[in-house]
Chains A and B, each alone.
Chain A
Amino acid sequence: MRSTSNTIWAVFGLALILLLPAFAGGQWVKIFTSTTTFAMAAAGAGFLYTRLGMVSLVQVGLMGVGGWVTLRLNHAFNFPFEINLMVAGAVTMFLGNLIALPALRMRGLYLALITLMFAAGLDIVFTAKQFPNGADGFWGVGTTFAAEMRRPIFAQSDAAYLRYTMLWLVIGFVLIELHRRMAPGRAWALIRKSEAAALASGVNVTLYKTWAFGLSGLLAGLGGGLLAGSLGLLDAATFRASESVMLFALVIVGGARFWYGAVISAVLFRVVPGLLNNWGVDADLSLVIFGAALLHAVMSAPDGLAGQINGAVRALFSGRKSPENKGAKA
């Protein structure tokens, strides 16, 4: 059953990577690329929440850092895009490690507030200094500059670049799954159960908590770097602290326990406002929809939309009716 389900998801994912860029036109390619990059950050936040029960409200801020580093390196040096991206990921991984330091002492609401403070700090820096656009100096910001943003040679077009970001997202999911199946995943499971139990099993709690935040930061940074590669110019408004809060809320709505929950979260985060705009409706209406969805998730769907999809698929494969169908029949 599990292998069948995995095969179906793999085929679906492959079809999506091949077909979506080919059929999405105009601005939708950019929107889907942006969605994919935010899915990476959402995967990091979801992984941290489900594996360790820790809330990070700084993911979008770290995306901003990843984007900043990628742009800065692109304009300052002639490195290939991948090198810039890797350095951006390394920087945000290090920042994630730094953010983990208070996590060693705090948890729950207090930890969430600490990460929110980090996000607010980054928000202020981004607003004050903006993102590099090719000018001179450390900050690299000028009023009349718009230097070229290099992309990988095999992903020059928007459609090819969308495929490229989707591949990175797959790599991100694989990285998380590998961690889950190996020693870090087992250590995190024990830490989530109880830190005393983890210590009694020989787990270095400090190391593994720091590691988890680093991985989460890495994914956010890669997402930010890929977003920079897509747009060429970044805006501070994209990385507001409030956006980090919104992304985390949508991670809960999408379903943090499932990898495709991150995709659903990012789709809600980026595509729904775009759709509303297309229909001539104020995109801010999405906030009301997300609020209602969060209420629904908290009250009746703790595993989010992904959990409900998973339940329905399981019911379908096991030949049983899902609770919804039973309800409809009754």
Chain B
Amino acid sequence: MISMENLTVRFGGVVALDHIGADFTANVSGLIGPNGAGKTTTMNVISGFLDAHNGHVIVDGADLVKLPPHKRVHWGLRRSFQKEQIANDLTVRENLMAITDHLHGSRADKRADLERAADFAGVTDILGKMGRDLNTFERRLTDVARCVIGHPKMIMFDEPAGGLTPEETERLGDLILGIHDLTGAKVLVIDHDVELIERICAETLVLDFGKRVAFGPTSDVLRDPAVQAAYLGIEVEEEHA
């Protein structure tokens, strides 16, 4: 279970996250909200890129907030970014090795792990391709492979479907759904694509202006009037305006 307790982040007088709490029990959970809601801030706090003013993130009994960022990776935290971070001057294999380099285990184990991750994400055939030569979808798949490598316990995807076609988004959704069976990791997904969230996330947390608007089974949450007013409704109204 991923347990967020009382998570608070302040930038000067601005409260980016205001005492956020939620217990994610599903294998794949969602985090949605309009721009500026605090979704990426939440992810950055969990990753260790931002210090929480208050609160805890407890996964499998470990409080991630207390670990330095690179130690969280050793613990089993993985994440992707809105703009995928594939090093252009490394091959796909080297991009994956850049993670296994810093994990414990024998070389043979690491190699087997890398091949398993590449096979799962469907990048085995492009392991020798340079990062600069990958198309958008190949970069996303490489990102998925990076996330499932090395026995992760929690994986976060920040807008993974950005820039993908509907077909590519569907395939990506299938991959994310398969992650728990492969690794046993809990997955947290941020995306503006509500269809994708509805399809792959069993439960969802909705934020608005750093506050928790709703949390629960995704279908219930998306029907919640408060969510529709804060997120879906307002955007629709603005588009029609």
Contacts and interface: CB of A to CB of B under 8 A. Distances in A.
A189 B89 CA distance: 7
B69 interface: yes
A204 B88 contact: no
Interface stretch (A8-16, A126-134, A156-164, A192-200): A192-200
Q: How large is the interface on B (under 10, 10 to 19, 20 to 34, 35 or more residues)?
A: 20 to 34
Contacts of A189: 87, 89-90, 94, 98
A205 to B, nearest CB: 7
B87 A202 contact: no
Contacts of A203: 70, 98, 102
Interface in B166-194: none
Contacts of B74: 202
A186 interface: yes
Nearest to B86: A193
Interface string A85-128: 00000000000000000000000000000000000000000000
A209 B5 CA distance: 35
A142 B206 CA distance: 77
A200 B78 contact: yes
Given A193-B87, A200-B78, A204-B70, A187 B47 contact: no
A186 B97 contact: yes
Contact of B99 (A193, A194, A202, A205): A202
A201 interface: yes
B85 A196 contact: yes
Contact of A186 (B73, B78, B79, B94): B94
Chain A binding surface SS class: helix
B235 interface: no
B101 interface: yes
A183 interface: yes
A267 interface: no
B146 interface: yes
A200 B47 contact: yes
A237 B81 CA distance: 50
B17 to A, nearest CB: 18
A190 interface: yes
B85 A200 contact: yes
User: Which of B81, B86, B97, B101 has the largest number of chain A CB atoms within 10 A?
Assistant: B101
B15 interface: no
A5 to B, nearest CB: 17
A259 to B, nearest CB: 15
A259 B115 CA distance: 32
User: Which of A194, A196, A199, A201 has the largest number of chain B CB atoms within 10 A?
Assistant: A201
Contacts of B95: 186
Contact of B70 (A183, A186, A205): A205
B69 A200 contact: yes
B103 interface: yes
A186 B89 contact: no
A202 B70 contact: yes
User: Which of B81, B85, B87 has the largest number of chain A CB atoms within 10 A?
Assistant: B87
A201 B90 contact: no
Contacts of B101: 183, 186-187, 202
A204 B70 CA distance: 6
Given A197-B85, A200-B47, A200-B85, A190 B73 contact: no
Contacts of B103: 202
B97 A193 contact: no
B122 interface: no
A192 B87 CA distance: 8
The 9 A-B pairs at the shortest CB distance, nearest first, are namely A202-B73, A197-B85, A202-B102, A183-B101, A186-B98, A189-B87, A199-B69, A193-B87, A201-B99
Given A187-B102, A193-B88, A200-B47, 9 more contacts: A190-B98, A192-B87, A193-B87, A196-B81, A200-B78, A202-B73, A202-B74, A204-B70, A204-B102
Interface of A: 183, 186-187, 189-190, 192-194, 196-197, 199-205
27 contacts: A183-B97, A183-B101, A186-B87, A186-B94, A186-B95, A186-B98, A187-B98, A190-B85, A193-B85, A194-B81, A196-B47, A196-B81, A196-B85, A197-B81, A197-B87, A199-B47, A199-B69, A199-B70, A200-B73, A200-B78, A200-B79, A201-B102, A202-B70, A202-B74, A203-B70, A203-B102, A204-B102
